[in-house]
Amino acid sequence: MKIIETTNLTKFYGKNKGIEDVSLSINKGEIFGFIGPNGAGKSTTIRLLLSLIYPTSGQATIFGKDCFKYGHEIRNDIGYLPSEVFYYDKMRVKELLKYSASFYKGDHSKRIKELADIMELDLSRKIDELSYGNKKKVGIVQGLLHQPKLIMLDEPTSGLDPLMQQKFFNLILEENKKGATVFFSSHILGEVQKLCNRVAIIREGHIVKIEDIKTLRNDNYKKIAIRTNNHNQKVFKIDGVSNIEQIDGEISFFFKGDINTLLSLITKNKVNDVIIEEPTLEEIFMHYYK
Amino acid sequence: MNIILRELRASIKSMVIWCGVFTILIFMYMSEFSAYANNEEMLAVLDGMPEAMLEAFQMNSFNLTTLTGFYGILFTYFILMLSIHAILKGNSIISKEERDRTVEFTLVLPIKRSKVVIGKLIAVIINCIIIDVFLYGIILFSIQSYLPEENFMEFLLLLFTSTFIMQMLFLSLGIMFGCALKQYKRSGYLGISIILISYVLSIVSGLSEKLEFLKYITPFKFFDTAVIKNEMALDWKYILISFTIIVICLTIGLITYKKRDLYI
The three state secondary structure string of A204-234 is: CCEEEEEEEHHHHHHCCCEEEEEECCCCCHH
Angle at B262 between CA A130 and CA A69, to 5 degrees: 115
B89: containing domain? 2-259
pLDDT at position A6 over 60: yes
Q: With beta carbons under 8 A apart, name residues in chain A contacting B102.
A: 86-88
Q: pTM value? A: 0.88
Residue ranges, comma separated, of all CATH 3.40.50.300 domains in chain A are: 2-218
**What pLDDT, on a 0 to 100 scale, did the predictor assign at position A284?**
66
Alpha-carbon span B218 to B203, nearest angstrom: 10
More confident site: A148 or A191: A148
pLDDT single digits (tens) B110-126 = 999 999 999 999 999 99
pLDDT single digits (tens) A262-285 = 888 888 888 889 998 877 666 766
Alpha-carbon span B61 to B213, nearest angstrom: 20
Orientation angle between helical segments A109-119 and A93-101, nearest 10 degrees: 140
pLDDT single digits (tens) A207-235 = 988 888 777 666 677 888 988 877 677 78
Bridge partner list, A276:
A224
pLDDT at position B103 over 60: yes
* Rounded (to 5) percent helix, strand, coil in chain A: 35, 30, 35
- Mean pLDDT for B254-263 is 94
Alpha-carbon span B100 to A87, nearest angstrom: 8
With beta carbons less than 8 A apart as the criterion, state whether A93 and A122 touch: yes
Q: A152 — phi, psi (to 5°)?
A: -110, 125
pLDDT at position A175 over 70: yes
**What pLDDT, on a 0 to 100 scale, did the predictor assign at position A268?**
84
3-state secondary structure of A173: helix
Contact call for A100 and B2, based on CB within 8 A: no
Beta-sheet strands, E only, within chain B: none
With beta carbons less than 8 A apart as the criterion, state whether B43 and B65 touch: yes
Alpha-carbon span A221 to A281, nearest angstrom: 11
Of the CA atoms within 13 Å of residue B114, those in its CB half-sphere come to 9
Does the interface predicted TM-score (ipTM) exceed 0.95? no
Q: With beta carbons under 8 A apart, name residues in chain A contacting B259.
A: 54
**What pLDDT, on a 0 to 100 scale, did the predictor assign at position A266?**
86
- Tell me which residue of A238, A92, A79, A74 sits closest to A168, measured CA to CA: A79
Count of domains observed in chain B: 1
Q: How confident is the model at residue A39 (pLDDT cuts 50, 70, 90)?
A: confident
Which CATH superfamily is A2-218 part of?
P-loop containing nucleotide triphosphate hydrolases (3.40.50.300)
Contact call for A52 and B259, based on CB within 8 A: no
pLDDT at position B157 over 80: yes
pLDDT at position A119 over 90: yes
Q: How confident is the model at residue A27 (pLDDT cuts 50, 70, 90)?
A: very high
Interface test mutation site (partner A, options B98, B105, B256, max chain A beta carbons within 10 A): B105
Helix ranges (DSSP H) in B100-151:
103-106, 113-142
pLDDT at position A143 over 80: yes
Q: How confident is the model at residue A37 (pLDDT cuts 50, 70, 90)?
A: confident
- Which among A53, A80, A86 has CB closest to B102? A86
Please give the distance of CA B29 from its chain centroid, rounded to a whole number: 19
Name, in order, each residue with C-beta under 8 angstroms of B234's C-beta and a sequence gap of 6 or more.
Answer: B158, B161, B162, B165, B223, B228
**What pLDDT, on a 0 to 100 scale, did the predictor assign at position A59?**
95
Alpha-carbon span B178 to B191, nearest angstrom: 9
With beta carbons less than 8 A apart as the criterion, state whether B71 and B158 touch: no
**What pLDDT, on a 0 to 100 scale, did the predictor assign at position B183?**
82
Residue B264 maps to a domain: no
**What pLDDT, on a 0 to 100 scale, did the predictor assign at position A257?**
83
With beta carbons less than 8 A apart as the criterion, state whether B149 and B229 touch: no
- Mean pLDDT for B51-65 is 74
Contact call for A89 and B264, based on CB within 8 A: no
Strand A250-255's sheet: what is its strand order? Answer: A241-247, A250-255, A222-227, A273-277
3-state secondary structure of A31: strand
Q: How confident is the model at residue A286 (pLDDT cuts 50, 70, 90)?
A: low
3-state secondary structure of A23: strand
Beta-sheet strands, E only, within chain A: 2-13, 16-27, 31-35, 57-62, 65-66, 78-81, 150-154, 181-186, 198-203, 206-212, 222-227, 241-247, 250-255, 273-277
pLDDT single digits (tens) B14-45 = 999 999 999 999 999 999 898 888 787 877 88
**What pLDDT, on a 0 to 100 scale, did the predictor assign at position A218?**
64
**What pLDDT, on a 0 to 100 scale, did the predictor assign at position A69?**
94
The contact set of A with B (CB < 8 A) is 47, 50, 52-54, 72-76, 78, 80, 82, 84-90, 99-100, 102-104, 142
pLDDT at position A290 over 60: no
**What pLDDT, on a 0 to 100 scale, did the predictor assign at position A231?**
66
Q: Which class would CATH give A222-288? A: alpha beta
Residue of B nearest to A68 (CA): B259
Residue ranges, comma separated, of all CATH 3.30.70 domains in chain A are: 222-288
Q: Look at phi and psi of residue A9 and say left if phi exceeds 0, alpha if psi is from -120 to 50, else beta.
A: beta
Alpha-carbon span A285 to B69, nearest angstrom: 78
Helix or strand (DSSP H, E) at A176: helix A162-177
**What pLDDT, on a 0 to 100 scale, did the predictor assign at position A114?**
96
Contact call for B108 and A86, based on CB within 8 A: no
How far, in Å, are A52, A145, B103, B229 from residue A107 at the CA level?
27, 10, 24, 56
Alpha-carbon span B71 to B64, nearest angstrom: 8
**What pLDDT, on a 0 to 100 scale, did the predictor assign at position B63?**
81
- Which among A54, A72, A90 has CB closest to B111? A72
Q: Are strands A2-13 and A57-62 parallel, antiparallel or unpaired?
A: antiparallel
Residue of B nearest to A91 (CA): B10
- Mean pLDDT, chain A, as a whole number? 90
For the ranges A146-160, A209-223, B184-198, the lowest mean pLDDT is seen at: A209-223
- Mean pLDDT for A256-264 is 86
The contact set of B with A (CB < 8 A) is 2, 6, 10, 100-105, 107-112, 259-262, 264
With beta carbons less than 8 A apart as the criterion, state whether B217 and B80 touch: no
Q: Per this entry, what is the length of chain A? A: 290
Alpha-carbon span B24 to B11, nearest angstrom: 20
Sign of CA pseudo-dihedral B254, B259, B261, B264: positive
With beta carbons less than 8 A apart as the criterion, state whether A141 and A116 touch: yes
